[in-house]
Amino acid sequence: MGKLIIVASGKGGTGKTTVTSHLGAVLAERGHLTAVVDADAGFRNLDIALGMESSIVYDYSDFISGSQELDDVLLRCGERENMYFIAAPQSASTSDFADERVEEFWNSLKSRFEFVLADAPAGMGDGFLFAAKYADEAIIVSLAETSSLRDADRVVAELEELGIDDVRLVINRMDAALVEDKILMNADDCIDVLSIPILGIIPEDGAVTGSMTRGEPLMPASGFGAGTAFVNIAARLEGQSVPMMKFTSKKRKGFLQKLKGLFQDR
């Protein structure tokens, strides 16, 4: 039996769709049979991130209403052997769905896939509950700033209320120069605010927007870019212990290099 991991946040635009699509692609690439589900009914865009927008015929409301089988709503993500996608309805509200059918939907997915990632809408509305009520684990995606963390804290409390013990934090769009300038908080302070374990830190990386726009969610995992962060997060989800990426601003790197040069000159 696989597990359902909800990717949630307090504030909008923190990177849930980015994390769901890239993490799904990396998990699939590492050999795990993975399904990514757009739980953001009405505002779906996981299909765009995956380059699947022109392939959608059915969405999960067709399974939940009983008019289609799971295989009809499941789409293979292009050439990716292990990765499948299920679209959100464009309009239907998830609050109209019968609980037993929703439960059957998630259970059927968990019985077929190792990882099921649900890209939730921001906050704690119907779309969030659609996945959260049945989730085994949660990933909270937050920016390293007070307002994003404060809203995330409310979602963490709601997830705990729903009985989900495994709730981990992903800090997205980390930028060491902005931490140095006190515009963003450092990772330790973010962890202190939320008091949940950290799953990963993703750097601000222009390549993310490019891959989202092209609908190609797999990025080269080299150096200290977002691609490496996604690989590290996938490895941690597999249970591996991978050290957190260290963030040093270019300003500071230049200073350290100068200092090194000074000592070498002597």
d(CA 99, CA 247): 44
Which chain residues interact with ligand ATP by CB under 6 A? 9, 12-18, 40, 122, 172-173, 202, 204-205, 208-209, 212, 226
CB of residue 173 to ligand ATP, shortest distance in Å = 5
Is the CB of residue 212 less than 8 Å from the CB of residue 119? no
Contact mark string toward Mg ion, 1..20, x via CB under 5 A? ---------------xx---
Alpha-carbon torsion (189, 195, 197, 201), positive or negative: negative
Decide: helix, strand or coil at residue 130.
helix
| Smallest distance, Mg ion to C-beta of residue 187, A | 23
Please tell me whether residue 142 binds Mg ion under the rule CB under 5 A: no
Q: How far is the CB of 221 from Mg ion (least distance, A)?
A: 23
The residue among 112 and 236 lying less far from ligand ATP, judged by its C-beta, is 236
Nearer to ligand ATP, 108 or 224 (CB): 224
Q: CA 240, 74, 90: angle at the middle one, nearest 5? A: 105
Residue 71 CB, shortest distance to Mg ion, in Å, is 26
Taking alpha carbons only, the member of 21, 184, 33 closest to residue 109 is 33
86 contacts 56 by C-beta, under 8 angstroms: no
Considering the complex, state which of residue 17 and residue 228 has its C-beta at the smaller distance from Mg ion.
17
**Spatial separation of the C-alpha atoms in residues 114 and 36, rounded to whole Å:** 11
Shortest separation between residue 15's beta carbon and ligand ATP, angstroms: 4
- Asked if residue 179 lies in contact with residue 185, where contact means CB atoms within 8 angstroms, the answer is yes
Task: Supply the Cα-derived Rg of the chain in whole angstroms.
Answer: 19
Residue 42 contact among Mg ion, ligand ATP, none, beta carbon within 5 to 8 Å by kind: none
Residue with Cβ nearer ligand ATP (67 or 209): 209
**Does 21 engage in binding with Mg ion (CB under 5 A)?**
no
Which residues of the shown chain bind Mg ion in the complex (CB under 5 A)? 16-17
